[in-house]
Chain A
Amino acid sequence: MDSASDAPIKSLRPADREPNIAAGLQQVSATEARLSSVTLKDSSSRDGEDRVPSNGSLPADFYDAGEEIEAEDEEAPPSVAAAPEGSFEGDIAWRDGQGMDGEAPPSPSSSGYAGERGSSGDSSGIVEESDGSGGVSQVDWDKGKQRLHENMQDDASVSWRKRKKHFIILSHSGKPIYSRYGDEHKLAGFAATLQAIISFVENGRDRLKCVRAGKHQVVFLVKGPIYLVCICCTEEPYESLREQLELLYGQMLLILTKSIDRCFEKNPKFDMTPLLGGTEAVFSSLIHSFGWNPATFLHAYTCLPLAYSTRQAAGAILQDVADSGVLFAILMCKHKVISLVGAQKATLHPDDMLLLANFILSSESFRTSESFSPICLPRYNPMAFLYAYVQYLDVDTYLTLLSTNSDAFYHLKDCRIRIESVLVKSNVLNEVQRSIMEGGMHVEDLPVDSSLRSGSASNHLGMGRSEPVLVPQSGSGGPAGLWHFIYRSINLDQYVSSEFSSPLNNFSQHKRLYRAYQRLYASMHDQQTGPHKTQYKRDEDYVLFCWITQDFELYAAFDPLADKAQAIKTCNRVCQWVRDLENEIFLFGGSPFSW
């Protein structure tokens, strides 16, 4: 049974990865040791799971505020400027390695799953031993740490670098729910410790937001009975990581709704993992998209570029079915919107679209046949399921029809048949394929001075590229050293991003640029110092420029040697260019307020 369908899932986490969770969590395990020495003295409580850390006193050094310790900063130190702070006054820091000199291992609260006992040692580096009573289990910290230490020292440091970012979801009783790397069940001990940390602070009516240790950040998000944790050394701003945790939580709600909270009310030790069976790909694909999909931090969606009339034709037929009782009709091509329509007054939040698209694209079974499935749009209504009819119209293009009615299948199927025939007749699907081939806006095509051009023909995407394009600046991007840009329309909740071109050639370069944009976004939207209107920043990788007005936000990356005045001029031209093309790159009428 399970074994068979689990096969590909298992392949997502081959055994050789598992030691790395331990490595990745090394810093935290020091806290674990420290914290457990606080919380677990209370061994009079027999039940390991229920034990909430007694609100006793922290060890004197726990609050070592301000003492930034750079235990093993072989790499560049983190940008301290962006260091977020929790409710603590200052950063919490600890000396890594302090706990390694054989201090008596305290027994942390453990989930005490019968099935996990002793099974975790080899892979997670945490060895649990049970005394057989099912109550207290003991963690062999020393052994675990030794292994961690080994990992840090030799070959594993390579894979250590590969595992820069962990996401863990656990319940308020410390039961693991999800972990990006490693088997969440084998993390029972570790999850229990995270739980102890969070509860400890929550019990003090405080909220733990973030812990920093050297170049590591641990970001926490508490959602009722569900705790989400990110541990990383990627130097992303706290706000970005927190939003990523929010999306992760949203993805979980999309699958289960918020009514899952009730299960925890009935039974605090409720084990949620079976309810998320078979969804690993959904979460890992979402986490992956944090590195490449700007929608994850812009909170906006993007459209597939299409001639205005083509998008209109698609929109008209979708509107038709929306009027017949369909809540949302969404036609998408991979992550890009072709058209979407909501029933009266119903608006779709860009985050919901992101989560829905991620869910559909990462669940292979939707590609095999038409499907009907309950899903929840957390921003629309986190408590209720909607019923989604999903059908792929070609390899990339899929139609999603959402209804509040669980009996709507045959109606939605009829709607799909109507829509599909209209789309075929009006050639929309072919146009979609053509657009995929041609791509969107290329910085090389940025018009020299669009104010000089009044002819509409040249204002179309893809035009002009039929002739050889004169590329200024010797093949490295567009004019004035422009490499890339993202334009976000505030009113439309949409963004358009230029295609990547030389010298941004590979995924890691794209990811690095997105991380830079993300930092820019976070600093521009900083609640304390912002919001800002413009920012111009030069580092060894790029010149970054950000410009925010009431109507739009522009993020642009230039060659690090670009001239500032030229760059600013170019940004103006980009904005003009986007406005010239807005009928093709944006969807109008997507939300009732956008007219």
Chain B
Amino acid sequence: MGCASSFPGKNVGRSGSLNGEQTVANDPKNIRVKLVLLGDSGVGKSCIVLRFVRGQFDPTSKVTVGASFLSQTIALQDSTTVKFEIWDTAGQERYAALAPLYYRGAAVAVVVYDITSPDSFLKAQYWVKELQKHGSPDIVMALVGNKADLHENRKVSAQDAMEYAEKNGMFFIETSAKTADNINQLFEGTGIYLYRNKTQLSWITCNNRPKCRSCICCYEVP
């Protein structure tokens, strides 16, 4: 597993001001977050969402049509709740032009690739560029290497992905929808992330690494 990500509760205390456009509600204790998943077909976006929302993993593939909408609420340690409204988009090529429909106004974009597929990593980079060009400037981006359970077949190194994420100001994590590894951490991570003050969003440039331990980047990038 490339990296674990855990977030201590103390970081959660500061209440963040969220962009009203991006999230539906602005109640500091009950946050609603619009989140969109993007990535090549078959990387496991739907499986990640279904693992997170329903705790299930169905190995039979059900190619997404257009986009699916799901929601899930999680409670952070200080009893703040974060309700994720998730757009699980279809990775099939014919839907690519439609993506803005779903990522427009999203507070979080989760860009997924499959660690056994270099092509899917390239596709992920395509999505990152697209979001940088056309997404909301405040959008929080996470880069997710899924199918971490298939590490014997790994073709994309965690190091490369991490470096790419860092360069692009993204939160990086490797997950497995199959084993549930890091799935909750992924969503909690983005939740905490959003919850924190906007000014903290430049965390990736934190100068105190690697000893800081008080901002997210320093927890999740060992």
Residues of A within 8 A of B (CB): 1-8, 255-256, 274-278, 363-374, 388, 406-407, 409, 413
Q: What's the minimum C-beta distance from B176 to chain A, rounded to whole angstroms?
A: 13
Instruction: Report yes or no: B69 in contact with A365, Cβ–Cβ below 8 A.
Output: no
For B42, B50, B93, B120, the residue with the greatest tally of chain A CB atoms inside 10 Å of its CB is B42
Instruction: Report yes or no: A4 in contact with B94, Cβ–Cβ below 8 A.
Output: no
| CB nearest to B49 among chain A residues | A369
Mark interface residues in B31-49 (1 if CB within 8 Å of A CB, else 0). Answer: 0000000001111101000
List B contacts of A1 (CB < 8 A).
40-43, 113-114, 117, 119-120, 123
List B contacts of A277 (CB < 8 A).
41, 63, 92-94
CA distance A277 to B94 in the complex (A): 8
B70 part of interface (Cβ distance < 8 Å): yes
Q: List 11 A-B contacts (CB under 8 A).
A: A1-B42, A1-B43, A1-B119, A8-B61, A256-B94, A365-B63, A369-B69, A369-B88, A374-B66, A374-B95, A374-B98
- Which listed residue, B40, B46, B93, touches A365 by the CB 8 Å rule? B46
List A contacts of B46 (CB < 8 A).
365, 368
List A contacts of B184 (CB < 8 A).
none
B168 part of interface (Cβ distance < 8 Å): no
Given contacts A277-B93, A277-B94, A368-B50, contact A373 B42 (CB under 8 A): no
B26 part of interface (Cβ distance < 8 Å): no
| CB nearest to A281 among chain B residues | B63
Instruction: Report yes or no: A371 in contact with B117, Cβ–Cβ below 8 A.
Output: no
Q: What's the minimum C-beta distance from A411 to chain B, rounded to whole angstroms?
A: 13
Instruction: Report yes or no: B65 in contact with A363, Cβ–Cβ below 8 A.
Output: yes
B11 part of interface (Cβ distance < 8 Å): no
Instruction: Report yes or no: A365 in contact with B43, Cβ–Cβ below 8 A.
Output: no
* 8 Å CB interface, B74-124 against A: 88, 90, 92-95, 98, 101, 113-114, 117, 119-120, 123
| CB nearest to B42 among chain A residues | A5
Instruction: Report yes or no: A372 in contact with B69, Cβ–Cβ below 8 A.
Output: yes
Residues of B within 8 A of A (CB): 40-44, 46, 50, 60-70, 88, 90, 92-95, 98, 101, 113-114, 117, 119-120, 123, 147
Given contacts A1-B40, A1-B119, A5-B41, contact A366 B93 (CB under 8 A): no
- Which listed residue, A4, A6, A371, touches B67 by the CB 8 Å rule? A371
Instruction: Report yes or no: B69 in contact with A373, Cβ–Cβ below 8 A.
Output: no
Instruction: Report yes or no: B44 in contact with A365, Cβ–Cβ below 8 A.
Output: no
CA distance A407 to B98 in the complex (A): 11
CA distance A237 to B113 in the complex (A): 49
Instruction: Report yes or no: A2 in contact with B41, Cβ–Cβ below 8 A.
Output: yes
Instruction: Report yes or no: A2 in contact with B62, Cβ–Cβ below 8 A.
Output: no
CA distance A374 to B61 in the complex (A): 21
Instruction: Report yes or no: B114 in contact with A4, Cβ–Cβ below 8 A.
Output: yes
Q: What's the minimum C-beta distance from B153 to chain A, rounded to whole angstroms?
A: 10
Instruction: Report yes or no: A371 in contact with B70, Cβ–Cβ below 8 A.
Output: no
CA distance A395 to B162 in the complex (A): 43
Instruction: Report yes or no: B93 in contact with A371, Cβ–Cβ below 8 A.
Output: no
8 tightest A-B contacts by CB? Answer: A373-B66, A5-B42, A278-B63, A1-B120, A1-B117, A364-B62, A365-B62, A4-B42
CA distance A3 to B61 in the complex (A): 11
CA distance A374 to B94 in the complex (A): 10
Given contacts A1-B117, A372-B67, contact A278 B98 (CB under 8 A): no
CA distance A413 to B98 in the complex (A): 19
Instruction: Report yes or no: A406 in contact with B101, Cβ–Cβ below 8 A.
Output: yes
Q: What's the minimum C-beta distance from A269 to chain B, rounded to whole angstroms?
A: 17
Instruction: Report yes or no: A373 in contact with B41, Cβ–Cβ below 8 A.
Output: no
CA distance A260 to B153 in the complex (A): 38
| CB nearest to B47 among chain A residues | A4
Instruction: Report yes or no: B64 in contact with A365, Cβ–Cβ below 8 A.
Output: yes
List A contacts of B93 (CB < 8 A).
274-275, 277
List B contacts of A370 (CB < 8 A).
68-70
Instruction: Report yes or no: B63 in contact with A369, Cβ–Cβ below 8 A.
Output: no
| CB nearest to A360 among chain B residues | B65
Instruction: Report yes or no: B68 in contact with A369, Cβ–Cβ below 8 A.
Output: yes
CA distance A277 to B63 in the complex (A): 9
Q: What's the minimum C-beta distance from A581 to chain B, rounded to whole angstroms?
A: 37
List B contacts of A276 (CB < 8 A).
94
CA distance A406 to B65 in the complex (A): 15
Instruction: Report yes or no: A368 in contact with B69, Cβ–Cβ below 8 A.
Output: no
List B contacts of A278 (CB < 8 A).
41, 63, 92
| CB nearest to B118 among chain A residues | A1
CA distance A363 to B64 in the complex (A): 8
List A contacts of B90 (CB < 8 A).
373
Q: What's the minimum C-beta distance from B134 to chain A, rounded to whole angstroms?
A: 16
List A contacts of B41 (CB < 8 A).
1-2, 5, 277-278
CA distance A117 to B88 in the complex (A): 37
Given contacts A255-B94, A368-B50, contact A373 B65 (CB under 8 A): yes
List B contacts of A3 (CB < 8 A).
42, 117
Q: What's the minimum C-beta distance from B141 to chain A, rounded to whole angstroms?
A: 20
- Which listed residue, B60, B65, B101, B120, touches A371 by the CB 8 Å rule? B65
Given contacts A1-B41, A1-B114, A409-B69, contact A368 B62 (CB under 8 A): yes
CA distance A47 to B217 in the complex (A): 55
Instruction: Report yes or no: A373 in contact with B63, Cβ–Cβ below 8 A.
Output: no
Q: What's the minimum C-beta distance from A286 to chain B, rounded to whole angstroms?
A: 15
